[in-house]
Protein backbone atom coordinates (compact mmCIF):
# COMPACT_ATOMS: atom_id res chain seq x y z
CA UNK A 1 0.00 0.00 0.00
CA UNK A 2 1.41 3.38 -0.99
CA UNK A 3 1.23 6.38 1.29
CA UNK A 4 1.73 9.80 -0.25
CA UNK A 5 2.96 12.99 1.31
CA UNK A 6 2.83 16.45 -0.21
CA UNK A 7 5.62 18.94 0.28
CA UNK A 8 5.54 22.48 -0.98
CA UNK A 9 8.58 24.61 -0.26
CA UNK A 10 7.65 27.96 1.27
CA UNK A 11 10.22 30.74 1.53
CA UNK A 12 9.16 33.59 3.75
CA UNK A 13 11.23 35.82 5.97
CA UNK A 14 11.53 37.18 9.37
CA UNK A 15 11.56 34.84 12.36
CA UNK A 16 13.94 32.52 14.19
CA UNK A 17 13.66 28.77 13.94
CA UNK A 18 13.40 27.87 17.63
CA UNK A 19 10.62 25.33 17.35
CA UNK A 20 9.08 26.01 20.74
CA UNK A 21 8.82 29.77 20.16
CA UNK A 22 7.53 29.24 16.63
CA UNK A 23 5.00 26.65 17.80
CA UNK A 24 3.38 28.96 20.33
CA UNK A 25 3.30 31.88 17.88
CA UNK A 26 1.61 29.63 15.33
CA UNK A 27 -0.82 28.24 17.92
CA UNK A 28 -1.77 31.77 18.99
CA UNK A 29 -2.75 32.53 15.40
CA UNK A 30 -4.60 29.23 14.97
CA UNK A 31 -6.59 29.98 18.13
CA UNK A 32 -7.78 33.24 16.53
CA UNK A 33 -9.43 31.39 13.62
CA UNK A 34 -13.09 30.43 13.60
CA UNK A 35 -12.83 26.96 12.09
CA UNK A 36 -16.55 26.41 11.58
CA UNK A 37 -16.60 29.46 9.29
CA UNK A 38 -13.94 27.80 7.15
CA UNK A 39 -15.90 24.56 6.67
CA UNK A 40 -18.92 23.27 8.54
CA UNK A 41 -17.88 20.96 11.37
CA UNK A 42 -14.16 21.63 10.98
CA UNK A 43 -12.30 21.86 14.30
CA UNK A 44 -8.59 22.27 15.21
CA UNK A 45 -6.32 19.24 15.51
CA UNK A 46 -3.06 18.81 17.37
CA UNK A 47 0.05 19.65 15.40
CA UNK A 48 3.81 19.24 15.41
CA UNK A 49 6.70 21.28 14.07
CA UNK A 50 9.98 19.51 13.41
CA UNK A 51 13.34 20.00 11.71
CA UNK A 52 16.20 17.64 10.94
CA UNK A 53 17.17 17.36 14.61
CA UNK A 54 14.20 17.98 16.91
CA UNK A 55 10.43 17.93 17.12
CA UNK A 56 7.96 20.04 19.12
CA UNK A 57 4.51 18.44 19.47
CA UNK A 58 1.45 19.52 21.40
CA UNK A 59 3.42 21.91 23.60
CA UNK A 60 6.62 19.98 24.34
CA UNK A 61 9.74 18.53 22.71
CA UNK A 62 9.64 14.83 21.77
CA UNK A 63 11.87 12.44 19.86
CA UNK A 64 11.00 12.81 16.19
CA UNK A 65 8.79 9.86 15.15
CA UNK A 66 9.83 8.00 12.00
CA UNK A 67 6.42 8.65 10.40
CA UNK A 68 7.00 12.41 10.50
CA UNK A 69 7.98 13.03 6.89
CA UNK A 70 7.30 16.24 4.91
CA UNK A 71 4.23 18.45 5.46
CA UNK A 72 1.03 16.48 5.83
CA UNK A 73 -1.44 14.83 8.17
CA UNK A 74 -0.41 11.59 9.86
CA UNK A 75 -1.98 9.11 12.25
CA UNK A 76 0.05 9.33 15.44
CA UNK A 77 -0.66 7.84 18.86
CA UNK A 78 -4.22 6.97 17.94
CA UNK A 79 -5.22 10.25 16.34
CA UNK A 80 -4.83 12.29 13.17
CA UNK A 81 -2.52 15.29 13.56
CA UNK A 82 -0.89 17.90 11.31
CA UNK A 83 2.88 18.08 10.89
CA UNK A 84 5.21 20.60 9.27
CA UNK A 85 8.90 20.28 8.44
CA UNK A 86 10.45 23.67 9.24
CA UNK A 87 13.27 24.29 6.76
CA UNK A 88 13.33 28.08 6.41
CA UNK A 89 12.15 31.12 8.35
CA UNK A 90 8.39 31.61 7.99
CA UNK A 91 5.89 34.25 8.98
CA UNK A 92 3.90 32.66 11.85
CA UNK A 93 0.61 33.81 10.31
CA UNK A 94 1.41 32.12 7.00
CA UNK A 95 2.63 29.00 8.78
CA UNK A 96 -0.55 28.90 10.87
CA UNK A 97 -2.63 28.77 7.69
CA UNK A 98 -0.37 26.03 6.26
CA UNK A 99 -0.89 24.00 9.43
CA UNK A 100 -4.65 24.56 9.11
CA UNK A 101 -4.37 23.23 5.54
CA UNK A 102 -2.84 20.02 6.93
CA UNK A 103 -5.41 19.92 9.75
CA UNK A 104 -8.08 19.93 7.07
CA UNK A 105 -6.56 16.76 5.61
CA UNK A 106 -6.92 15.23 9.09
CA UNK A 107 -10.56 16.36 9.06
CA UNK A 108 -11.06 14.76 5.63
CA UNK A 109 -9.68 11.49 6.95
CA UNK A 110 -11.77 11.28 10.11
CA UNK A 111 -15.01 11.98 8.26
CA UNK A 112 -14.32 9.18 5.79
CA UNK A 113 -13.36 11.16 2.70
CA UNK A 114 -13.34 8.73 -0.25
CA UNK A 115 -12.48 10.95 -3.21
CA UNK A 116 -8.69 10.89 -2.94
CA UNK A 117 -6.82 10.75 -6.27
CA UNK A 118 -4.77 7.69 -7.19
CA UNK A 119 -1.50 9.57 -7.29
CA UNK A 120 1.01 6.92 -8.35
CA UNK A 121 -1.30 5.64 -11.06
CA UNK A 122 -1.88 9.16 -12.35
CA UNK A 123 1.86 9.89 -12.46
CA UNK A 124 2.15 7.05 -14.94
CA UNK A 125 -1.17 7.37 -16.78
CA UNK A 126 -2.15 11.06 -16.99
CA UNK A 127 -1.66 12.29 -20.56
CA UNK A 128 -0.52 15.86 -21.22
CA UNK A 129 -2.75 16.40 -24.25
CA UNK A 130 -2.49 19.76 -26.03
CA UNK A 131 -6.22 19.93 -26.87
CA UNK A 132 -7.37 19.03 -23.37
CA UNK A 133 -5.01 21.47 -21.69
CA UNK A 134 -5.76 24.28 -24.16
CA UNK A 135 -9.44 23.88 -23.28
CA UNK A 136 -8.58 23.67 -19.60
CA UNK A 137 -6.70 26.95 -19.82
CA UNK A 138 -9.80 28.68 -21.23
CA UNK A 139 -11.86 26.99 -18.55
CA UNK A 140 -9.52 28.34 -15.87
CA UNK A 141 -9.66 31.86 -17.34
CA UNK A 142 -13.45 31.71 -17.19
CA UNK A 143 -13.31 30.52 -13.59
CA UNK A 144 -11.09 33.46 -12.70
CA UNK A 145 -13.58 35.86 -14.29
CA UNK A 146 -16.35 34.26 -12.24
CA UNK A 147 -14.46 35.03 -9.03
CA UNK A 148 -14.07 38.67 -10.00
CA UNK A 149 -17.52 39.26 -11.53
CA UNK A 150 -19.99 36.38 -11.43
CA UNK A 151 -22.62 36.06 -14.14
CA UNK A 152 -24.77 33.05 -14.98
CA UNK A 153 -23.81 33.02 -18.66
CA UNK A 154 -20.10 32.76 -17.85
CA UNK A 155 -20.82 30.05 -15.29
CA UNK A 156 -22.63 28.00 -17.93
CA UNK A 157 -19.66 28.49 -20.25
CA UNK A 158 -17.35 27.19 -17.52
CA UNK A 159 -19.58 24.15 -17.00
CA UNK A 160 -19.74 23.51 -20.76
CA UNK A 161 -15.95 23.35 -20.95
CA UNK A 162 -15.93 20.89 -18.06
CA UNK A 163 -18.71 18.73 -19.48
CA UNK A 164 -16.91 18.54 -22.83
CA UNK A 165 -13.58 17.61 -21.25
CA UNK A 166 -15.20 15.06 -18.94
CA UNK A 167 -16.63 13.27 -22.00
CA UNK A 168 -13.55 13.50 -24.23
CA UNK A 169 -10.83 13.12 -21.57
CA UNK A 170 -12.49 11.21 -18.71
CA UNK A 171 -9.34 9.94 -16.99
CA UNK A 172 -7.57 13.30 -17.01
CA UNK A 173 -10.70 15.17 -15.93
CA UNK A 174 -11.39 12.88 -12.99
CA UNK A 175 -7.82 13.01 -11.77
CA UNK A 176 -7.85 16.82 -11.86
CA UNK A 177 -11.24 16.90 -10.13
CA UNK A 178 -9.98 14.55 -7.40
CA UNK A 179 -6.96 16.75 -6.69
CA UNK A 180 -9.25 19.80 -6.61
CA UNK A 181 -11.48 17.92 -4.16
CA UNK A 182 -8.69 17.10 -1.72
CA UNK A 183 -5.94 19.69 -2.16
CA UNK A 184 -8.03 22.47 -3.67
CA UNK A 185 -10.46 22.27 -0.76
CA UNK A 186 -7.59 22.32 1.74
CA UNK A 187 -6.02 25.36 0.06
CA UNK A 188 -9.46 27.04 -0.05
CA UNK A 189 -9.65 26.56 3.73
CA UNK A 190 -6.05 27.80 4.07
CA UNK A 191 -6.80 30.99 2.11
CA UNK A 192 -9.94 31.75 4.08
CA UNK A 193 -8.06 31.22 7.34
CA UNK A 194 -5.51 33.73 6.05
CA UNK A 195 -8.35 36.16 5.31
CA UNK A 196 -9.42 35.93 8.96
CA UNK A 197 -5.88 36.53 10.21
CA UNK A 198 -4.61 39.17 7.79
CA UNK A 199 -6.62 40.80 5.01
CA UNK A 200 -3.39 42.27 3.62
CA UNK A 201 -1.63 38.89 3.33
CA UNK A 202 -4.81 37.35 1.93
CA UNK A 203 -5.03 40.01 -0.79
CA UNK A 204 -1.39 39.39 -1.72
CA UNK A 205 -1.98 35.63 -1.91
CA UNK A 206 -5.04 36.01 -4.15
CA UNK A 207 -3.09 38.25 -6.53
CA UNK A 208 -0.34 35.63 -6.72
CA UNK A 209 -2.88 32.86 -7.33
CA UNK A 210 -4.47 34.79 -10.18
CA UNK A 211 -1.08 35.39 -11.74
CA UNK A 212 -0.25 31.69 -11.58
CA UNK A 213 -3.55 30.71 -13.20
CA UNK A 214 -2.87 32.96 -16.19
CA UNK A 215 0.62 31.63 -16.98
CA UNK A 216 -0.22 29.11 -19.70
CA UNK A 217 3.28 27.64 -19.95
CA UNK A 218 3.41 26.94 -16.23
CA UNK A 219 0.58 24.44 -15.72
CA UNK A 220 2.89 21.47 -15.21
CA UNK A 221 2.90 19.24 -13.27
CA UNK A 222 -0.89 19.38 -13.55
CA UNK A 223 -1.34 18.43 -9.90
CA UNK A 224 0.23 21.68 -8.73
CA UNK A 225 -2.16 23.83 -10.75
CA UNK A 226 -5.17 21.88 -9.42
CA UNK A 227 -4.53 23.37 -5.96
CA UNK A 228 -5.24 26.85 -7.35
CA UNK A 229 -8.11 25.81 -9.61
CA UNK A 230 -9.80 23.98 -6.74
CA UNK A 231 -9.39 27.00 -4.47
CA UNK A 232 -11.07 29.25 -7.04
CA UNK A 233 -13.75 26.66 -7.79
CA UNK A 234 -14.84 26.29 -4.16
CA UNK A 235 -14.68 30.05 -3.59
CA UNK A 236 -16.95 30.73 -6.58
CA UNK A 237 -19.42 28.08 -5.41
CA UNK A 238 -19.42 29.54 -1.89
CA UNK A 239 -19.65 33.20 -2.91
CA UNK A 240 -22.68 32.57 -5.10
CA UNK A 241 -24.49 29.86 -3.08
CA UNK A 242 -24.30 27.48 -6.04
CA UNK A 243 -23.82 24.23 -4.14
CA UNK A 244 -23.50 22.99 -0.56
CA UNK A 245 -20.13 21.30 -1.06
CA UNK A 246 -19.41 21.10 2.67
CA UNK A 247 -21.66 18.09 3.16
CA UNK A 248 -19.94 14.70 3.11
CA UNK A 249 -20.32 12.95 -0.23
CA UNK A 250 -18.78 10.19 -2.31
CA UNK A 251 -19.47 12.15 -5.50
CA UNK A 252 -16.88 14.59 -6.80
CA UNK A 253 -18.00 18.19 -6.43
CA UNK A 254 -17.03 18.72 -10.08
CA UNK A 255 -19.49 15.99 -11.10
CA UNK A 256 -22.22 17.38 -8.84
CA UNK A 257 -22.01 20.77 -10.54
CA UNK A 258 -22.33 19.06 -13.94
CA UNK A 259 -25.56 17.24 -13.10
CA UNK A 260 -27.91 17.91 -16.00
CA UNK A 261 -25.27 19.84 -17.99
CA UNK A 262 -24.74 18.68 -21.57
CA UNK A 263 -21.43 18.86 -23.41
CA UNK A 264 -22.28 21.57 -25.92
CA UNK A 265 -20.07 22.06 -28.95
CA UNK A 266 -16.84 23.74 -27.96
CA UNK A 267 -14.60 25.68 -30.30
CA UNK A 268 -11.16 24.16 -30.04
CA UNK A 269 -8.24 26.55 -30.37
CA UNK A 270 -4.83 25.22 -29.57
CA UNK A 271 -2.95 27.50 -27.23
CA UNK A 272 0.64 27.90 -28.49
CA UNK A 273 1.90 28.61 -24.97
CA UNK A 274 0.30 25.39 -23.73
CA UNK A 275 2.01 23.47 -26.53
CA UNK A 276 5.35 25.06 -25.62
CA UNK A 277 4.78 24.23 -21.98
CA UNK A 278 4.00 20.57 -22.71
CA UNK A 279 7.08 20.23 -24.91
CA UNK A 280 9.28 21.91 -22.32
CA UNK A 281 7.89 19.75 -19.51
CA UNK A 282 8.44 16.52 -21.46
CA UNK A 283 11.96 17.49 -22.52
CA UNK A 284 12.95 18.65 -19.03
CA UNK A 285 11.51 15.51 -17.45
CA UNK A 286 13.29 13.16 -19.84
CA UNK A 287 16.57 15.05 -19.41
CA UNK A 288 16.32 15.01 -15.62
CA UNK A 289 15.63 11.29 -15.56
CA UNK A 290 18.30 10.36 -18.10
CA UNK A 291 20.83 12.45 -16.19
CA UNK A 292 19.74 10.72 -12.99
CA UNK A 293 20.22 7.29 -14.56
CA UNK A 294 23.69 8.24 -15.81
CA UNK A 295 24.98 10.18 -12.80
CA UNK A 296 22.88 8.97 -9.87
CA UNK A 297 24.35 7.08 -6.92
CA UNK A 298 22.71 3.71 -6.25
CA UNK A 299 20.96 3.82 -2.88
CA UNK A 300 18.96 0.57 -2.85
CA UNK A 301 17.97 -2.21 -5.22
CA UNK A 302 16.13 -5.48 -4.99
CA UNK A 303 12.75 -6.06 -3.40
CA UNK A 304 11.62 -2.62 -2.25
CA UNK A 305 8.26 -1.28 -1.08
CA UNK A 306 7.62 2.40 -1.69
CA UNK A 307 5.85 3.94 1.30
CA UNK A 308 6.07 7.63 0.43
CA UNK A 309 7.42 10.16 -2.01
CA UNK A 310 6.97 13.87 -2.59
CA UNK A 311 3.95 13.65 -4.85
CA UNK A 312 3.58 17.45 -4.96
CA UNK A 313 5.88 17.86 -7.96
CA UNK A 314 6.85 14.27 -8.79
CA UNK A 315 7.55 13.37 -12.44
CA UNK A 316 7.40 10.17 -14.51
CA UNK A 317 9.13 9.10 -17.71
CA UNK A 318 9.67 5.66 -19.25
CA UNK A 319 9.26 3.67 -16.04
CA UNK A 320 11.11 6.11 -13.79
CA UNK A 321 9.81 8.40 -11.04
CA UNK A 322 11.45 11.56 -9.73
CA UNK A 323 10.85 12.58 -6.12
CA UNK A 324 12.30 15.76 -4.65
CA UNK A 325 13.06 16.28 -0.96
CA UNK A 326 12.66 12.69 0.30
CA UNK A 327 11.79 9.05 -0.30
CA UNK A 328 10.24 6.69 2.25
CA UNK A 329 10.48 2.95 1.65
CA UNK A 330 10.71 -0.51 3.23
CA UNK A 331 13.44 -3.09 2.61
CA UNK A 332 13.79 -6.43 4.41
CA UNK A 333 11.10 -5.37 6.85
CA UNK A 334 12.89 -2.15 7.82
CA UNK A 335 11.39 1.28 7.07
CA UNK A 336 13.81 3.94 5.88
CA UNK A 337 13.56 7.66 5.13
CA UNK A 338 16.21 9.31 2.96
CA UNK A 339 16.38 13.04 2.27
CA UNK A 340 17.40 14.64 -1.01
CA UNK A 341 16.30 14.05 -4.61
CA UNK A 342 15.74 10.54 -5.93
CA UNK A 343 15.11 8.54 -9.07
CA UNK A 344 12.86 5.52 -8.47
CA UNK A 345 12.97 2.83 -11.17
CA UNK A 346 9.88 0.68 -11.69
CA UNK A 347 9.39 -2.65 -13.45
CA UNK A 348 6.53 -3.45 -15.84
CA UNK A 349 4.21 -4.13 -12.89
CA UNK A 350 5.03 -0.70 -11.39
CA UNK A 351 7.02 -2.30 -8.57
CA UNK A 352 10.14 -0.53 -7.30
CA UNK A 353 13.38 -2.26 -8.29
CA UNK A 354 15.97 0.44 -7.68
CA UNK A 355 16.40 3.82 -5.95
CA UNK A 356 19.17 6.23 -6.94
CA UNK A 357 20.13 9.45 -5.20
CA UNK A 358 20.45 12.25 -7.76
CA UNK A 359 20.95 15.98 -8.11
CA UNK A 360 18.16 18.00 -9.72
Helix (H) and strand (E) counts in the chain: 12, 13
Burial 136-152 (b: 16+ CB within 10 A, else e): bbbbbebbbbbbeeeee
Report pLDDT for 8. Answer: 52
Across the chain, mean pLDDT equals 92
Q: Are strands 79-85 and 47-50 parallel, antiparallel or unpaired?
A: parallel
pLDDT, greater one: 355 or 267: 355
Report pLDDT for 88. Answer: 87
Report pLDDT for 2. Answer: 39
Report pLDDT for 267. Answer: 87
Q: Count other C-beta atoms under 10 Å from residue 197's C-beta.
A: 20
Measured distance CA(104)–CA(35) in Å, rounded = 10
Report pLDDT for 73. Answer: 96
3-class secondary structure, 158: helix
The tens digit of pLDDT for each residue in 103-141 reads 999 999 999 999 999 998 999 999 999 999 999 999 999
Measured distance CA(262)–CA(132) in Å, rounded = 17
The tens digit of pLDDT for each residue in 61-110 reads 999 998 898 899 999 999 999 999 998 889 999 999 999 999 999 999 99
Report pLDDT for 344. Answer: 97
Query: Exposed, middle or buried by CB within 10 Å (0-12, 13-18, 19+), for 111?
Result: exposed
Q: Tell me the CB-side half-sphere exposure of residue 112, using CA atoms within 13 A.
A: 5
The neighbouring-strand residues paired with 100 are none
19 has a pLDDT exceeding 80: yes
- Percentage of residues in the chain with pLDDT exceeding 90? 84
360 has a pLDDT exceeding 90: no
Report pLDDT for 288. Answer: 96
N-terminal to C-terminal alpha carbon distance within the chain: 27
Report pLDDT for 17. Answer: 65
- C-alpha angle 216-192-256 in degrees, rounded to nearest 5: 70
Measured distance CA(201)–CA(187) in Å, rounded = 15
Report pLDDT for 287. Answer: 96
Measured distance CA(87)–CA(106) in Å, rounded = 22
Amino acid sequence: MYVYYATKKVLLGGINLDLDCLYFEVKENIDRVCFDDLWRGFQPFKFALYDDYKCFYNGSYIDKPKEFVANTSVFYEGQHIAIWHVMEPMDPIILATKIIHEMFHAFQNIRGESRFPKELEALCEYQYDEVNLSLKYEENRTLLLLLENFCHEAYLEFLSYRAFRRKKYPYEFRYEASVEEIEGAAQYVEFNALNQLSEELFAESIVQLKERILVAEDVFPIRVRCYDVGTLFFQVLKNNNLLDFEENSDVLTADRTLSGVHDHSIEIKLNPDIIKGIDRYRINTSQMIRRGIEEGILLEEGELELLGLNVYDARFFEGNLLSTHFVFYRKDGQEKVQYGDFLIRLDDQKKVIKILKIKI
